[in-house]
């Protein structure tokens, strides 16, 4: 899993970068394949804003969050992404093709 974080008109400190990676690392437990996450942090007065796109095979999931502090916005964003990924996996499992029965298929 690769996490890319950048700031829009905001200096991205190592502490913020580490916090984003720590919070979003839990999304990796949902995937057995490689995924990419792009996170954009910005300030839209009076709130702090966090945007993220998760590229999973076949689809892109998007979430955004605002909060009184950047850390609060990142927490909300991580929770939203977690719910989106779980929902995506459930949909994917529901639409998976049924396995063919094993038996004598000659005829």
| Residue 104, domain member (yes or no) | no
| Residue 60, domain member (yes or no) | yes
Bridge pairing between strands 2-8 and 47-56: unpaired
CA distances from 69 to 7, 28, 43 (A): 14, 25, 9
| Residue 106, domain member (yes or no) | no
- Cα 70 to Cα 11: distance, rounded to the nearest angstrom: 12
Q: Specify the CATH number for the domain of residue 74.
A: 3.30.160.100
Bridge pairing between strands 36-44 and 2-8: parallel
Q: Per-residue pLDDT for the chain (107 aa), expressed as one digit of tens each?
A: 888 999 988 889 999 999 999 998 888 787 767 788 999 999 988 899 999 999 887 788 999 999 999 999 999 999 999 999 888 888 777 765 656 666 555 54
Q: Kindly state the tokens that stand for 50.
A: 């966090």
Instruction: Identify the domain containing residue 48 by its residue range.
Output: 2-94
Give the pLDDT confidence score for residue 15 in this predicted structure. Answer: 93
Give the pLDDT confidence score for residue 21 in this predicted structure. Answer: 92
| Residue 47, domain member (yes or no) | yes
Query: Cβ(52)–Cβ(42) under 8 Å?
Result: no
Cα dihedral 10, 27, 71, 18 in deg (nearest 10): -60
| Residue 39, domain member (yes or no) | yes
Number of domains present in the structure of the chain: 1
Sequence-separated (6 or more) residues with CB below 8 Å from residue 45: none
Q: How many CB atoms lie within 10 A of CB 81?
A: 24
pTM above 0.75, yes or no: yes
| Residue 101, domain member (yes or no) | no
Give the pLDDT confidence score for residue 16 in this predicted structure. Answer: 93
């Amino acid at each position: 899993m690769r996490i890319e974080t950048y700031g829009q008109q905001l200096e991205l400190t190592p502490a913020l970068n580490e916090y984003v990676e720590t919070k979003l690392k839990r999304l990796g437990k949902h995937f057995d394949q490689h995924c990419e996450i792009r996170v954009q942090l910005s300030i839209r007065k009076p709130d702090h804003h966090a945007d993220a796109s998760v590229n999973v095979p076949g689809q892109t999931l998007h979430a955004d969050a605002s909060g009184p502090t950047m850390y609060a916005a990142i927490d909300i964003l991580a929770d939203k992404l977690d719910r989106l990924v779980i929902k995506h996996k459930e949909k994917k499992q529901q639409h998976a093709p049924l396995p063919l029965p094993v038996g004598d298929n000659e005829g």
